[in-house]
Structure 1
Amino acid sequence: MTLKNTITVLTLLSGIFYAKCQTDTALVTSYRDKVMIRLNLDTNLEKYIISEKGTDDSKMELSINNKTKTSVSIDYRVISATLSFSPKFIPGNNEDDLKGKSSYTDLSFRFFPKRFIQTLYYKKVKGFYLENMKDFIPDWKETDAYLQFPDLKVLSFGGTTSYVLNKNFSAKSIYTHSEWQKKSSGSWVPYLDYDISFFTNTINEVKNKEIQYKIGGNMGYFYNWIIRDKVNVAPYLSLGIGGQFSSSRQENEKKENEQFVTLKMEGGLHVGYNSDRFLFGGRISFNTYTYQKSGETVENNNLYGLIYIGYRFAPPKVVKNTYDKIQKKIPVL
């Protein structure tokens, strides 16, 4: 496998909810004006499951040959930059010969205007393989090559608009580590999710394309349990229902339009340690949605895992002065 270096610049734009650096209130400590360097180890597992209604005999499990990535992040105020790569020595990072090559790109922007959380994202996934080979070839062995779909690509643009009902709950303490919630608190969070996805594939020189539009309403509950001032455990779970509209075409054939009702479930758990300078922890989350299509059940599952360790410090004067000059011209920063 060739070592890949991917530079991703994430901009996290926040409303000025706590304006001063490390301003203590009764419930929250802010680290907005501290520089944070963070080392991350993370992975994304993307899978599509297609099965006929009422039977698993013809179920297809299409997965990506994802890599465990190591990344270094630098955060200051609303700016975050990340350099990531996939080391060969990590188990599972050198199986291209068996599973084919896959690529996964994920770029997201998150805003925090008061109690709203606005997320926008772009995701590109290419290169899948048939994970359940034994269901189709009983004498298949794990040392044999998997059936591969190198041209299957999914390109998505979307977002979520959320509202935190409890004003004493700090979403930033979980998402960006730019705050620390001092007392345990939870909140119901209703949110709307929406996206457009483009599926393309080429089989035997025949091109297939499908466009999906999805929108859904969800209700989730988040809880941030603070243990001995510096340790937090933050689980969450949400359920939702929505609609999907798809348009597909194979080469020059007539376009087919379909509508579906979708069900969605999302959840996760974050465990972390925080001090004014050091922080570390881990996070695992899942996202799954399903719908019925022409007698088949289609599921899309995503599993994300992260381990991180970080360090905060006061910004060098040249960094602070440069940012302040830019902020005068762009007040939202």
Structure 2
Amino acid sequence: MNLPRLVFIVFVFLLGIPVNAQKDTTDIKSYADQVMIRANLDTNIESYVFSEGEEGNQTEQIFSINNKTKVSLSIDYKIISATLSFAPQFFSENKDNELKGNSSYTDFSFRLFPKRFIQTLYYKNVKGFYIENTKDLFPNWKEGDPYIQFPDLRVQSFGGSTSYILNQNFSAKSIYTQGEWQSKSMGSWVPFLDYDLTVFRNKVEDQKYKETQYKIGANMGYFYNWVIGKNVNIAPYFALGLGGKFSTYRNVQEDGARMNAQYLTLRMEGGLHVGYNTDRFLFGGKMNFNAYAYNQTKNQAVQNNNLYGLLYIGYRFAPPRVVKNTYDKIQKKIPVL
């Protein structure tokens, strides 16, 4: 089943979710006056799928990065949350350089939680891809042979999202960053805009290629926080989106002529969070996925798929005086903080 059809089916199902939970009231415990640090370990599967041909007779090229495990360090205080992610080479999953080439991954994200809004900004830099389904393209390829590699293929993304929590009694921070604890089960619809600027660069036989993409999309998601006892919560979510992509590149087959293209995009994402929380310690795990697709031509489609599981452990403590004083000074100049 192709992505657009799957999106339509799930969207119809999503509209049938009851919203009675939004009428409930809840108690939310805030940890805004505490500094929270978290260490995250996750498997990051970044891939771009290029499909060509009619349905049922398509050929695919799956571009993936070699790094499958990354580490993230996060710090939260008041309404600010910042995370730095990278893929260290000492993990065995990140060492198959001879077969899959060398990949690098860096990701920095920054979140603000002003009242019922969630503002996210991020920067991501990925370099070094290989074709995961090399055998489909070269039947003589066998396990242990090097994959087709694109060591100079680099993808840089600058983007963000702006979300609004429709249910004022729902704690989004209890799911996103564990900056709060919600004591009663509850859900909320969450509309959000996502936007980014992505630059693709590659070098093949001394010929440089560059493509710039601008994307914007409108999405609707549903989040539910199921609280079990005093310390455990399970939180699934699902979201669908529709948007546009605007691409600019130079066509090397036409003397470097500048080309522009516009595409209709479909986006689907979801996940499940399971956590354990106390006033000092917290730990848990998440499983998330997102799929993004558009048709280049009638018989050509592109998908960017991301699937990962995450384990985290965190600790809260009173802020050092220098941190508190600095934040208070900034807050006087920027009241939204």
Specify the code of the residue in structure 2 equivalent to 1:230: N
Distance 1:198 1:303 in 2: 21
Q: Which runs of 4+ in 1 moved over 6 A?
A: none
Change (3 A) 1:56 1:242: same
Which residue of 2 is the match for residue 261 of structure 1?
264
CA separation of 1:130/1:30 partners in 2, compared to 1, >3 Å: closer, same or farther? same
Structure 2 CA distance for partners of 1:229 and 1:87, relative to 1, 3 Å:
same
Are the structure 2 counterparts of residues 85 and 298 from structure 1 closer, same or farther at C-alpha, using a change threshold of 3 Å? closer
- Tell me what 2:32 maps to: 32
> Match for residue 44 of structure 1?
44
Is this contact kept in 1: 2:85–2:106, CA < 8 A?
no
Q: CA RMSD in A?
A: 2.2
Q: Which range moves more in the overlay, 76-85 or 65-74? A: 76-85
Matches within 5 A, 1:161-176: 161-176=162-177
What TM-score comes out, normalization by structure 2 length?
0.84
Query: Given that residues 121 and 158 in structure 1 are in contact (C-alpha distance below 8 angstroms), is that contact kept between their aligned partners in structure 2?
Result: yes
Aligned with 1:296 (options 289, 297, 300): 300
Count residues in correspondence: 309
For structure 2, the 5+ residue unaligned runs are 1-24
Distance 2:82 2:240 in 1: 32
Aligned match of 2:319 in 315, 318, 327?
315
Q: 1:106 to 1:170 in 2, by over 3 A?
A: same
1:282 aligns with 2:285: yes
Q: Does 1:271 align with 2:274?
A: yes
Q: How has the CA–CA distance of structure 1 residues 159 and 205 changed in structure 2, closer, same or farther, with 3 Å as cutoff?
A: same
Compute the displacement of 1:288 (Å). Answer: 1.0
CA deviation string 1:234-255 (max 9, x = no partner): 1111111111121221454211
2:265 and 2:84 map into 1 onto residues whose CA distance is 36
Structure 2 letter corresponding to 1:28: I
Give the equivalent residue in structure 1 for 2:7. Answer: none
Asked if 2 retains the 8 angstrom alpha-carbon contact of 1:207 and 1:250, the reply is no
In structure 1, runs of 5+ residues without a counterpart are 1-24
The answer as to 2:200 corresponding to 1:196 is no
Distance change (3 Å), C-alpha of 1:87 and 1:313: same
Structure 1 length normalisation: TM-score? Answer: 0.85
Residues 61, 170 of structure 1: alpha-carbon distance in 2 compared, 3 angstrom cutoff: same
**Amino-acid identity (%):** 66
Can you list the C-alpha shifts for 1:178-217, whole angstroms capped at 9, x where unaligned?
1101111101111111222111111111122211121111
Does structure 2 conserve the Cα–Cα contact (< 8 Å) formed by 1:209 and 1:250?
no
Aligned to 1:13: none
Q: Could you say which structure has the higher helix fraction?
A: 2
- 2:266 and 2:39 mapped to 1: Cα distance? 35
SS in 2 for 1:145: coil
Tell me if structure 1 keeps the 8 A contact 2:83–2:108.
Answer: no
